């Protein structure tokens, strides 16, 4: 059996923040719709455009962290660290949005952007679930909820994504008279991403193990 490589969780977390934020913005730019995990903040940014997507994202993440603490019925310091990571993720969304327009916008390119963003997000989420560090709240929520209610992660992930899409559709349709930000790519990703993350996660587990300064406290 091939010996596993040991990598630092801190570096993996940095990669997660950079990859996931890029994946979200690239998927939106592809024209296929925004990723499910960012669909709710995107919906609010469309209805209330005075507040940026990044700002709405960390407000939404704060709500997820608060919900997890209610479900745990206790204060969890690691969740607050997760919120700080989410804040960095949110800021990177705004940074990528400023520069994404330099990419060509032809139809073939947009198709490529969707598949690249899909794989980037799946890899990023799988990596975040294993890096032994506080992770982005939108990634943390389905993982922790899966442990709390004892339902397999892929099922919880898919349910969470579909719920986000439903909320976004209702929000934008009610206030703007039409559904914004959701496309065929968004729907396809929501129903398949949980399973794909599981497959990629198994691939990572066979090859890599992570260590971090917080691994004994997580």
* pLDDT for res 186: 83
Q: What is the mean pLDDT of the chain?
A: 90
- pTM score above 0.85: no
Q: Are strands 5-8 and 208-211 parallel, antiparallel or unpaired?
A: parallel
Domain ranges within the chain, ordered by starting residue: 5-208
Q: Are 23 and 117 in contact (CB under 8 A)?
A: yes
pLDDT tens-digit series, residues 28-57: 899 998 888 889 999 999 999 999 888 999
* pLDDT for res 217: 53
The mean pLDDT of 67-84, rounded to a whole number, is 91
* pLDDT for res 169: 93
Dump the DSSP string for 44-96.
HHHHSTTS-HHHHHHHHHHHHHHHHHHHHTS--HHHHHHHHHHHHHHHHHHHH
pLDDT tens-digit series, residues 144-194: 999 999 999 889 988 998 899 899 999 999 999 999 888 888 888 888 888
pLDDT tens-digit series, residues 98-153: 999 999 999 999 999 999 999 999 999 999 889 988 888 988 999 899 999 999 98
Which residues are registered as beta bridge partners of 208?
5
* pLDDT for res 15: 95
For the chain, give the percent of residues with pLDDT over 90: 64
For the chain, give the percent of residues with pLDDT over 70: 97
Q: Which three-class secondary structure state does DSSP give residue 25?
A: helix
* pLDDT for res 54: 87
* pLDDT for res 96: 95
């Amino acid at each position: 059996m091939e010996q596993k490589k040991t990598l630092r969780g801190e570096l993996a977390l940095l990669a997660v923040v950079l990859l996931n934020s890029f994946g979200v913005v690239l998927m939106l730019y592809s024209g296929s719709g925004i990723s499910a995990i960012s669909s709710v903040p995107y919906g609010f940014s469309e209805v209330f455009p005075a507040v940026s997507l990044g700002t709405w994202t960390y407000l939404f993440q704060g709500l997820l962290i608060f919900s997890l603490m209610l479900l745990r019925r206790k204060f969890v310091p690691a969740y607050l660290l997760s919120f700080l990571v989410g804040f960095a993720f949110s800021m990177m969304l705004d940074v990528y949005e400023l520069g994404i327009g330099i990419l060509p916008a032809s139809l073939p390119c947009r198709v490529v952007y969707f598949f690249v963003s899909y794989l980037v997000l799946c890899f990023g989420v799988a990596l975040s679930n294993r890096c032994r560090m506080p992770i982005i709240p939108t990634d943390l929520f389905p993982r922790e909820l899966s442990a709390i209610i004892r339902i397999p992660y892929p099922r919880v992930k898919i349910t969470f994504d579909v719920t986000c899409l439903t909320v976004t559709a209702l929000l934008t349709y009610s206030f703007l008279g039409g559904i914004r930000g959701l496309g065929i790519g968004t729907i396809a990703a929501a129903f398949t991403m949980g399973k794909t993350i599981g497959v990629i996660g198994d691939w990572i587990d066979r090859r890599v193990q992570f260590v971090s300064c917080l691994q004994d406290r997580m």
